Amino acid sequence: MTPITAPAGSRHGSATITLPSDTEMLITRRFDAPAALVFKAYTTPELVRRWWACETTKWVVCEIDLRVGGSWRYVTLDQGMEIGFHGEYREIDRPHRLVTTEVFEGFPDPDAGALNIVTIDEADGVTTLAVLVQHTCREHRDGHLASGMESGMQLAYNRLEDVVREAV
């Protein structure tokens, strides 16, 4: 297998995951783009469709009602299988903070949703995106980590970087 090389000057593959507690994971990634642009790419359906899933994934639903109490839902079709996620916006402070719930629709436990606290901070032209994922228990957090999400997350954030780089 030939290794994939990152474009010159990119931060591809640089997202990190740490475990601040038994029920939390913290995902951190830097972007060479303004915070407002990262926020826009994170919350605009046309832009989310360009980075959130794999290039070969077909979008079925990408809905964002960006207001406190509003909902979001993403459904994709990958290798013949529908994969859905949904949640509710609990807090919005443009372009610095989003607090949302997140439920993976394929998980059999309806109480297994997580709370995502997204912070977007800019300093000296570099924006740090930090996503604190708070699960209800350690087993759900560990299941999330064991799902293979890290490789998909790296790919998605690489694609997000490409989207914001095109707009800078």
d(CA 60, CA 48): 13
Are the C-beta atoms of residues 135 and 23 closer than 8 Å to each other?
Answer: yes
Q: Which residues of the chain have pLDDT under 70?
A: 1-9, 108, 110-111, 168
Residue 65's Cβ-side half-sphere holds a number of Cα atoms within 13 Å equal to 11
How high is the pLDDT of residue 1? Answer: 38
For 105, residues 6+ apart whose C-beta sits below 8 A from its C-beta are 75, 83, 84, 85, 86
How high is the pLDDT of residue 92? Answer: 98
Percent with pLDDT over 90 in the chain: 76
Q: What is the pLDDT of residues 36-62, one digit of tens each?
A: 999 999 999 999 999 998 888 899 999
Q: How far is CA 18 from CA 23, 47, 87, 88, in A?
A: 11, 27, 23, 25
Give residue limits of the domains in the chain: 16-54+91-167
d(CA 83, CA 114): 17
Architecture of the domain defined by 16-54+91-167:
2-Layer Sandwich (3.30)
> DSSP letters of 33-102?
S-HHHHHHHHH-HHHHHHHSS-TTPEEEEEEE--STT-EEEEEEEETTEEEEEEEEEEEEETTTEEEEEE
How high is the pLDDT of residue 2? Answer: 40
The enclosing H or E element of 128 equals strand 126-134
Helix (H, G, I), strand (E, B) or coil at 147: coil
Reading the block at residue 16, the tokens are: 């990190």
How high is the pLDDT of residue 10? Answer: 79
Question: For 10, which DSSP code?
Answer: -
